[in-house]
Structure 1
């Protein structure tokens, strides 16, 4: 049985029916020397698709997730598998939601390389290996605080199939910084002293995990190595006990004022996984200006905070360089009955935009 690789993003018409939205492109590709018996076609695609033969008969599974590299077996009695095979190839490109008006792209990471770019990110550590600077309040190089149950590790922070993978595992682990035994491990990257912004628009295509134990987040903290301010661009709580409805909440918050007198402007989108499906790919947007902050999900405005809402504390509105943290965590006090292991925060790309004068 011989393998035939298709170009990434191209789907064979005779084998697949592509299910997606957006502009379609037509192409034709000839694969020579197709096998005379079973023809194996390896598919690497980010589109969600159904598998069917040209006669309408199911071949293999009837649906696959986009991040999977899938194998499709074409029946040996299908004449299209004999000799040279000409494939009508139809691709479907999902149009991203528009960004707010007036912004220009200034930086992006598409996670296309074999390893995480250390010019962009500190990997699996809360300490910058160059400067030695530590995230404020950290309990060691691999644990932010004891609200988190997972010890941050290199093996849980990696790139796979063009996406950043931040993995949670349930396993016994002996930590060194801080020392101690842990029942979970987690993935983490941060852009401290590498990539930072003071106002702008952040666009992230990501899949969140679901389950009561998970606590993944995409957030901003100060380059001045103080806490706060903090922008929680998107922070998912499988369980948070201080909420009237403690399960399944997405947080969009501002913390301001500085420790120990910090204040919060908090907002929770309840039943987030139930309504939007955490594990589906979404475009998460966050806009920060001199007067307001706005949160977008697939282009839809979800929440707004204005500087005027801070009242007498308006002068504490963040106005400084802040760096990015992407992490997948577990809440120490959260149950794990509904949580699957391992679970993943996956990031396809992150883009920063600056507003013109």
Structure 2
């Protein structure tokens, strides 16, 4: 699994759609190419405490060998149900918690990781080539938290040539802002290309549908069916190296600390949970 580095700042593209655009027929969600029914979905209707299906989900573990997951993050990812499990009410819950002092979890720092969390991926199991991915979720907020719904390419390249689409990132101390970003060979980290939109209330107060439409040479981000940014090759810096015409798998995680959100403080509430209602892939891909 390749590492990714979260941007310290986003490069907003001139001419992107304004945040909170008026809902018109052009802004409303439409079925993805090929089908208006998902070719794969995860509804999380298992028993309380059940892990997500290993047929579709991988659980990544650790911190030290991953060098803070490329971002100087402070959480140790586990395969413990305390960090990722279904709640018995149709949801998957990914929870960041303070680690017990006696846990001594290996960290990229000289000290032990002070937090645990989970990072789930569909790599080598489910991918989207063309169409739409929707994730209905409630995101945690608070200083030092960075919940993310994102995709990585399956082209076998090292990041950033691998390609990355951040469907939704919520920096904890910006609780009403949703960031959507693309990263590629010459536009990554703080030069990632994207935009943001504003929620009507903090992201932890209600479920929202975070989505990306992945069409030929076009990617469109939306929240609750309202589009706020479209990326096409002409918006890339020279040499306009577009790497998104490929299968891409999904990742769900809650990071703690790191370059972008900074470290938690006494105001940050733990446990901090990202609650996922469903994941749905429309169009074409692999499952």
Instruction: Note the C-alpha offset of 1:177.
Output: 7.3
Q: Does 1:314 align with 2:240?
A: yes
Runs (5+) with no aligned partner, structure 2: 1-27
Q: How far is 1:116 from its partner? A: 1.1
Counterpart selection for 1:183 from 101, 114, 137: 114
State which drifts further: 343-352 or 148-157: 148-157
> Match for 2:150 among 219, 222, 235?
219
Task: State the partner residue of 1:208.
Answer: 139
Is 1:336 equivalent to 2:270 in the alignment?
A: no
Q: Which moved more, 1:97-106 or 1:330-339?
A: 97-106
Match 1:256 to one of 181, 184, 190:
184
Residue of structure 2 equivalent to 1:55: none
SS class of match (2:45): coil
Indicate the SS of the match to 1:237.
coil
Residues of 1 paired with 2:245 and 2:228: CA distance?
A: 23
SS of the residue 1:325 aligns to = strand
C-alpha spacing 1:262/1:108, structure 2 compared with 1 (3 Å):
same
For the 8 Å contact 1:150–1:184, the answer to whether it is kept is: yes
Work out the CA distance in 1 between the residues paired with 2:229 and 2:187. Answer: 25
* 2:72 corresponds to 1:147: yes
Could you list the runs of 5+ residues in structure 1 that have no partner in the other structure?
Answer: 1-96, 127-137, 240-245
1:1-357 matches, within 5 Å, as: 98-100=29-31, 102-104=33-35, 105-113=38-46, 114-125=50-61, 139-140=64-65, 143-155=68-80, 156-161=83-88, 162-171=90-99, 172=101, 173-176=103-106, 180-223=111-154, 224=156, 226-228=158-160, 229-239=163-173, 249-257=177-185, 263-269=191-197, 272=199, 275-279=200-204, 280-310=206-236, 312-332=238-258, 333-354=262-283
Verify the 8 A CA contact 2:183 2:189 in the aligned structure 1: no
SS in 1 for 2:234: helix
Report the TM-score, using the length of structure 2 for normalisation. 0.73
- State the 1:316 CA deviation: 2.5
Alpha-carbon distance in structure 2 between the residues aligned to 1:326 and 1:261: 19
User: For the structure 1 residues 252 and 261, does the alpha-carbon distance in structure 2 shift closer, same or farther, using more than 3 Å as the test?
Assistant: closer
Asked whether the equivalents of residues 134 and 281 of structure 2 are also in contact (C-alpha less than 8 Å), the reply is: yes
Question: Could you say if the C-alpha distance between residues 319 and 208 of structure 1 is closer, same or farther in structure 2, counting changes exceeding 3 Å?
Answer: same
Give, in whole Å, the separation in 1 of the partners of 2:187 and 2:64. Answer: 16
Structure number with higher strand proportion: 1
**Highest Rg: 1 or 2?**
1
Aligned-partner Cα distance in 1 for 2:245–2:188: 19
Q: Tell me, yes or no, if the aligned pair for 1:238 and 1:249 is still in contact at 8 Å.
A: no
Normalization by structure 1: what TM-score?
0.60
